[in-house]
Amino acid sequence: MTTRKLNSTDSHGNGEASLPCSRPDNGFSDSLTLFHSEKAVQELLQQTPIQHTDDHLIEFSEALRTVAKALKQAAEGKAFAQAEAAEWKRRFELERAQNQQLQHKGKSPGECNGDINTQQMENSTNQHMLRNEANEQSENCCTNGLCSHEILHDGETDSHAKAVQNKMMRKASFKLSWWCKGDISDQHKHDIVSFERGNITAAGRSSKQISLKWESSPQTVLVMTKPNSTSVQILCADMIRWMKEHKKLNIYVEPRVMGELLSESSYFNFVQTWKDEKEILSLHTKVDLVVTLGGDGTVLWAASMFKGPVPPIVSFSLGSLGFMTPFHSEQYRDCLDSILKGPISITLRHRMQCHVIRDAAKNEYETEEPILVLNEVTIDRGISSFLANLECYCDNSFVTRVQGDGLILSTTSGSTAYSLGAGGSMVHPQVPGILFTPICPHSLSFRPLILPEHVTIRVQVPFNSRSPAWASFDGKHRKQLAAGDALVCSMAPWPVPTACQIDSTSDFLRSIHDGLHWNLRKTQSVDGPRDL
């Protein structure tokens, strides 16, 4: 019985295999053959009884089903490919006929009407798709004598096709913009990135020194001095006399310095000063250059005089450390002469703008007058014996809860001040960022952070805090923060430009070497034991 069934199976298979197979030009006979083969397999499966057979016939029937499924998929795929090739051929013939018609009329393909342009762009897109397919499978690039890489390559139409193709393949354009939360924002964003043809690059200012060149000669100079110093008073009088007689400059001084000069001699009647806060607010419109005689504290005081734009500051070292005072007072004439001629290298020292928001305020922007800091703002526990308890947020995202003596929010110019003493890192003053440094935290894992300059930091005293906190701004203007009060800090729009003796980097490295004796140790002796 088994032999009879196998013979029956063979007869069916041979009967289907012996069908005549013609191959017309369109190639659809292959699909018909595959269809008949699949039909023969299905009939064979229906006629072959499965009952009372052994395992070999069951396996054979499963194999036939698999073959039938494969034949069906192959037939469908080939039919689809041949139909698509016929469509490409039809479009190619249409494009060639249109080009030939235009050539007979004496027109170039680029002067055709809107409808033909639309058709050409469509055909160019199809050409691009065919070229990609040809690159992936170059051995199958031809179908019935039609090669995909030959489409639209007939003489003069080639250049037009390339132009249309380049237009279709152009990279998408975009623009970059700063995003701020909320419609009201007093943050100032610097352009630290640029883009051209869709490629994002870092702006040049982030990697180059900044140079200042005068377009017109400076006319007015503001001189600010360290108080209670006889040597500074003598140097100030001598410098003002030299600038007036040799440089013909207009001189502004503080009211305190004005009194000191007039008490010394009536010669200084030409010196000008201000009378009230209103004149101070407009001082930046009159002063071209600021000269400070003192230490870093004098530079901080001079910067605090300007709530808006700050003129370039030339600071002479008459203090102790001098991270922001690169010039020596002994050579002030040569220094000022070189600076007034220009150009000069400057360091842009960013400032932070701080708002104290009381819990009783109706909204976040009903705040006290903003305070500008050049070094840092410090929030500490004051005289309380309890740990400071501060909740910190960065752009409304929770950062951490500070439990310790307090927190320092420092600019990069202030990285060598209080932040350094609390364990923070030294940072180049032109690096845009905000230093987040805890003061004696009650946690071994609380390490300092450096945040980008565009963020807004909010430090809030929670309602369950055991005691209030205290905030000080560059060591002054101490304010109490009760439970529910908050301090909001962001980068101020107006930096403080300070003149450099050499350049920004050289002055910074010199200051940490001379002022802090950074990495200073005796050189290892060469007379010690050596490896043999």
pLDDT tens for 12-57 read 444 444 444 444 444 444 544 555 565 665 666 565 554 455 677 7
Q: How far apart are CA 166 and CA 92, in angstroms?
A: 20
Q: Looking at 288, 296, 485, 507, which residue is catalytic?
A: 296
Q: Are 38 and 30 in contact (CB under 8 A)?
A: no
> Which backbone phi and psi does 235 adopt, to 5 degrees?
-65, -35
Q: Which amino acid is at 402?
A: V
Cα 250 to the center of its chain, rounded Å: 43
Q: Does residue 210 surpass a pLDDT of 70?
A: yes
Which pLDDT score, from 0 to 100, does residue 293 have? 95
- The position carrying tokens 């690039």 is 141
Q: How far apart are CA 49 and CA 355, in angstroms?
A: 91
Q: Does residue 429 surpass a pLDDT of 70?
A: yes
296 is catalytic: yes
Q: Quick one: CA dihedral 395, 399, 401, 406, positive or negative? A: negative
Q: Quick one: CA dihedral 189, 193, 196, 197, positive or negative? A: negative
Position with higher pLDDT, 179 vs 244: 244
At 87-116, the pLDDT tens digits run 888 888 888 888 887 777 654 444 444 444
Which pLDDT score, from 0 to 100, does residue 326 have? 92
Q: pLDDT confidence of 135, banded at 50, 70, 90?
A: very low
Q: pLDDT confidence of 77, banded at 50, 70, 90?
A: confident
By mean pLDDT, which of 40-44, 293-297, 357-361, 507-511 is the weakest? Answer: 40-44
Q: Quick one: CA dihedral 190, 195, 200, 205, positive or negative? A: negative
Position with higher pLDDT, 384 vs 122: 384
Reading the block at residue 413, the tokens are 């110019």
| Percent of the chain residues past pLDDT 70, beyond the cut | 68
Mean pLDDT on 133-147 = 43
DSSP state for residue 320 in the 8-state scheme = S
By mean pLDDT, which of 132-136, 203-207, 352-356, 415-419 is the weakest? Answer: 132-136
Q: Are 457 and 436 in contact (CB under 8 A)?
A: yes
Q: pLDDT confidence of 83, banded at 50, 70, 90?
A: confident
Residues facing 395 on adjacent strands: none
Which pLDDT score, from 0 to 100, does residue 21 have? 42
Highest mean pLDDT among 50-59, 160-169, 301-310, 513-522: 301-310
At 358-374, the pLDDT tens digits run 887 766 566 678 999 99
| Percent of the chain residues past pLDDT 90, beyond the cut | 45
By mean pLDDT, which of 50-59, 206-215, 446-455 is the weakest? Answer: 50-59
- The position carrying tokens 């390490």 is 447
Position with higher pLDDT, 2 vs 326: 326
Which pLDDT score, from 0 to 100, does residue 327 have? 93
Q: pLDDT confidence of 168, banded at 50, 70, 90?
A: low
At 315-346, the pLDDT tens digits run 999 877 788 999 998 889 999 999 999 888 99
Mean pLDDT on 455-482 = 94
Which pLDDT score, from 0 to 100, does residue 67 have? 81
Nearest alpha carbon to residue 456 among 352, 382, 381: 352
Mean pLDDT on 227-245 = 93
Q: Are 353 and 186 in contact (CB under 8 A)?
A: yes
Q: Which amino acid is at 286?
A: K
By mean pLDDT, which of 173-182, 246-255, 489-498 is the weakest? Answer: 173-182
- For residue 493, whether the previous peptide bond is cis, meaning omega lies within 30 degrees of 0, is no
Position with higher pLDDT, 180 vs 408: 408
Q: How does the average pLDDT of the chain come out, rounded?
A: 78
Q: How far apart are CA 397 and CA 392, in angstroms?
A: 9
Mean pLDDT on 123-149 = 45
Q: Does residue 189 surpass a pLDDT of 90?
A: no
Mean pLDDT on 521-525 = 82
Residues facing 354 on adjacent strands: 371, 489
Q: Does residue 477 surpass a pLDDT of 80?
A: yes
221 HSE (CA, 13 A, CB side): 24
Which pLDDT score, from 0 to 100, does residue 290 have? 95
Q: Does residue 514 surpass a pLDDT of 60?
A: yes
Which pLDDT score, from 0 to 100, does residue 289 have? 93
What count of other Cβ atoms lies within 10 Å of the Cβ of residue 175? Answer: 5
Question: How open is the CA angle 130-136-142, to the nearest 5 degrees?
Answer: 55
Strands 344-349 and 496-499, sheet pairing: antiparallel
Position with higher pLDDT, 83 vs 134: 83
